[in-house]
Amino acid sequence: MTNIEQDRWSRVKGRLRSSVGEDVYSSWFARMDLESVQSESVHLSVPTRFLKSWIQTHYSDRVLSCWQAEMPQVHRVDLTVRTAMRCASPAKDAPVAAEPRRDDGRAAPELRATAIAPVSATHEALGGSPLDPRLTFGSFVIGRSNTLAHAAARQVAEGRRGDPVMFNPLYIHSGVGLGKTHLLQAVTWAGNSGTERKVLYLTAEKFMYGFVAALKSQTALAFKEALRGIDVLVIDDLQFLQGKTTQAEFCHTLNALIDAGRQVVIAADRPPSDLESLDERVRSRLAGGLVVEMASLGEDLRLGILKSRVTAARAHHASFDVPLPVLEYLARTITHNGRDLEGAINRLLAHSKLNAQPVTLEMAEREIRDLVRPQEPKRIKIEDIQRVVARQYNVSRSDLLSSRRTANVVRPRQVAMYLAKTLTLRSLPEIGRRFGGRDHTTVLHAVRKIEGLVAKDTALSDEVELLKRQLQE
Ligand code: ADP
Ligand code: MG
């Protein structure tokens, strides 16, 4: 490929990145390569079928128009799957060819009621964390904020032993109560309801205690073997993984599973780069798969979740009914998270049972008063701060991270560190690390400096306010 083509390709990627945003770009386009350019068509490739079909259905126009901005004569973009793809290695005891195939072709997407008992029994025998039978794909409501995460989870759940692994690990992150556990357990139920694959769901705590207990009883080897004998490892709340030995073990397990083509699915309350206690290699391994964020639940989605909860409750309490205006009121007022939505329905149910009264708007208002919270503040990331500050002061993000000490980068850098300290929960050493590996005392100095200036310099204080507003909107 010529240099000109390479340059063009870089510019097209740049356009794509600014048009879809960093998160979407890194999830879907980071591994897209240019294969060739003809006069009117361009040939691109991605490593997986999933990426291909996702990009084709959602972004093909966007990709084409980014090319046309560089090369107006291009009329077609072909996207193919690169062949150098790692395939899942079939488990030793079950050669793929000899495996009984189910007649429906794909893995059954929905859990059948009869499958619940055996699934959870086998799952717990494997040492998995308990599963909640209500958390399935069937009860998961899809909305704008979770479409990507849901599609990816579904894809994982429907895979069969021996299928090529689409993306590994699948890493889902969001604030609390936005459906991570629901989605992970749905993957586990659906994956285990067939006979062919073993899906193990573990909370990070269970992973830790399982491992520590196994070490104590000298069966660590057996524990590792058991882990490695499964097809899909699902780990929830990874932010709780602590301790050097456990982390080292987690790292080994992760590498072993991924290298063997087994699927790993992870949820945490923050992106891999913010998992401060994990070591750099693990973080980058985690970031190397598909990282998807779930945003807060929109009002439509909240309404959908409430409806699905009522329907579920009615299975056991036929007389329970919540009029639509009440549901709409709840969806409008309880903005915080899915747990509070569930709590609200439970209260209405309890109240209407105990008092044998129908649910009314007045009753709902009374019952949920304490669930109404002020809007959850947006989670702000250090990258966003760096990006917004760099743009404001017309420097580049790498200037902020560099060791340059000229006035035009020192002040923006200090402002950015100050914002990182005041708008995120990150510690000083972590902030230092994210600003080009600076010492925590440097960060502290910057924070104090800006604090002092903001108190007396109104121009700077306005500037900082403006930046905060941009970040919080
Ligand atoms: P997280 O693990 O992200 O903290 P959970 O998965 O525990 O959140 O979700 C909290 C509650 O909200 C659960 O009752 C869950 O079923 C419900 N919930 C969240 N998102 C959805 C969704 N998209 N569809 C249905 N229920 C949801
Ligand atoms: Mg959870």
Write the Ramachandran bin of 436: left for phi over 0, alpha for psi from -120 to 50, otherwise beta. Answer: left
Q: How far is the CA of 183 from the centre of ligand 1 (A)?
A: 8
Q: Whose CA is nearest to atom 10 of ligand 1?
A: 177
Mean local confidence (pLDDT), 76-91: 57
Max avg pLDDT among 48-57, 125-134, 270-279:
270-279
User: If you measure from the C-alpha of residue 283 to the centroid of ligand 1, how many angstroms do you get, rounded to a whole number?
Assistant: 25
pLDDT band at 229 (very low <50, low <70, confident <90, very high): confident
Q: What is the mean pLDDT of residues 21-31?
A: 77
Q: Is 140 in the pocket of ligand 1 (CB under 6 A)?
A: yes
Is 193 near ligand 1, meaning CB less than 6 Å away? no
Q: Is the model's pLDDT at 223 over the cut of 80?
A: no
Q: Which DSSP state fits 25?
A: I
Classify residue 105 as left (phi > 0), alpha (psi -120 to 50) or beta: left
Residue with the smallest CA separation from ligand 1 atom 12 is 338
- CB 178 less than 6 A from any atom of ligand 1: yes
CATH fold of 382-472: Chromosomal Replication Initiator Protein Dnaa; Chain: A; (1.10.1750)
Is the omega angle on the peptide bond into residue 169 within 30 degrees of 0, that is, cis?
Answer: yes
Quick one: what percent of the chain has pLDDT higher than 90? 41
Cα separation, 312 vs 378, in Å, equals 31
Q: Which of the listed residues 178, 292, 336 should we mutate to test ligand 1's pocket, taking the one with most ligand atoms within 8 A of CB?
A: 178
Query: Ligand 1: does its nearest atom lie under 6 Å from the Cβ of 182?
Result: yes
Query: What's the rounded Cα separation, in Å, for the pair 217 and 225?
Result: 15
The closest alpha carbon to 47, from 320, 289, 234, belongs to 289
Q: What is the pLDDT of residues 316-368, one digit of tens each?
A: 888 899 999 999 999 999 887 888 899 999 999 998 888 888 899 998 988 88
* Cα maximum dimension of the chain: 77
Position 35 scores a pLDDT of 87
Residue 181 Cα to ligand 1 midpoint, Å, equals 7
Fold classified for 125-293: Rossmann fold (3.40.50)
Say yes or no: CB of residue 141 within 6 Å of ligand 1. yes
Which atom of ligand 1 lies at the shortest distance from residue 179's CA?
Answer: 6
Task: Classify residue 152 as left (phi > 0), alpha (psi -120 to 50) or beta.
Answer: alpha
Mean pLDDT confidence for 70-80 = 90
Question: 174 alpha carbon to ligand 2 midpoint, in Å?
Answer: 9
Q: Is the CB of 174 under 6 A from ligand 1?
A: yes
pLDDT of residue 345: 94
Pairwise CA distance, residues 290 & 258, whole Å:
13
CATH topology of domain 1-85: GMP Synthetase; Chain A, domain 3 (3.30.300)
pLDDT at 417: 97
Q: What one-letter code names the amino acid at 405?
A: R
Position 374 scores a pLDDT of: 59
Check pocket membership of 177 for ligand 1, CB cut-off 6 A. Answer: yes
What is the pLDDT, as a whole number, of residue 106? 35
144, 182, 296, best to mutate for ligand 1 pocket (most atoms within 8 Å of CB): 182
Side-chain-side CA neighbours of residue 8 (13 Å): 18
Separation of CA 170 and ligand 1 centre (Å): 18
Assess whether pLDDT exceeds 80 at residue 302.
yes
Distance 186 CA to ligand 2 centre (A): 12
* pLDDT score at 114: 38
Ligand 1 center to 271 CA (angstroms): 18
Please determine, for residue 89, whether its predicted confidence score (pLDDT) is greater than 80: no
Ligand 1 and 128: CB distance under 6 A: no
Cα of 293 vs its chain's centroid, Å: 4
How confident is the model at residue 396, as a pLDDT?
93
For ligand 1, the distance from its centroid to the CA atom of residue 340, given in whole angstroms, is 10
Q: Which CATH architecture group holds 299-366?
A: Orthogonal Bundle (1.10)
What pLDDT sits at residue 291? 94
Return all residues near 268 (Cβ < 8 A) that are at least 6 apart: 171, 172, 173, 180, 237, 238, 239, 275
102 vs 261, which has greater pLDDT? 261
pLDDT at 105: 35
**Atom of ligand 1 at shortest range from CA of 301:** 23
Q: Kindly list the domain boundaries of the chain, sorted by start residue.
A: 1-85, 125-293, 299-366, 382-472
342 lines ligand 1 (CB under 6 A): yes
- What is the atom index within ligand 1 of the atom nearest the CA of 297? 20
Ligand closest to Cα of 175 equals 1
CB 41 within 8 A of CB 77: yes
Matching CATH topology for 1-85 and 382-472? no
275 lines ligand 1 (CB under 6 A): no
- Proximal ligand: closest to the CA of 180: 1
The rounded Å distance from CA 91 to ligand 1 centre is 33
Give per-residue pLDDT as tens, 94-149: 322 222 333 333 333 333 333 456 677 667 766 788 888 889 999 999 999 999 99
Ligand 1 centre distance from Cα of residue 143 (Å): 12
Does the beta carbon of 344 lie inside 6 Å of ligand 1?
no
**pTM of the full structure:** 0.61
Cβ atoms within 10 Å of 316's Cβ, excluding its own: 8
CB atoms under 10 Å from CB of 462, counted, come to: 11
The average confidence (pLDDT) of the chain is: 83
Instruction: Characterize 126-163 residue by residue with b for buried, 16 or more Cβ atoms within 10 angstroms of its Cβ, and e for exposed.
Output: bbbbebeeebbbebbbebebbebbbbbbbbbbbbbbbb
pLDDT digits (tens, 9 = 90+) for 413-451: 999 999 999 998 888 999 999 999 999 999 999 999 999
Between the ranges 50-59, 278-287, 396-405, where is the mean pLDDT highest? 396-405
pLDDT in tens, 162-219: 777 888 999 999 998 999 999 999 999 998 887 678 899 999 888 887 777 776 777 7
Helix (H, G, I), strand (E, B) or coil at 295: coil
Q: Which atom of ligand 1 is nearest to the CA of 269?
A: 3
Query: For residue 354, how far is its CA from the centre of ligand 1 (angstroms)?
Result: 27
Cβ-based neighbours of 373, under 8 Å, separated by 6 or more: 335, 336, 340
pLDDT of residue 116: 58
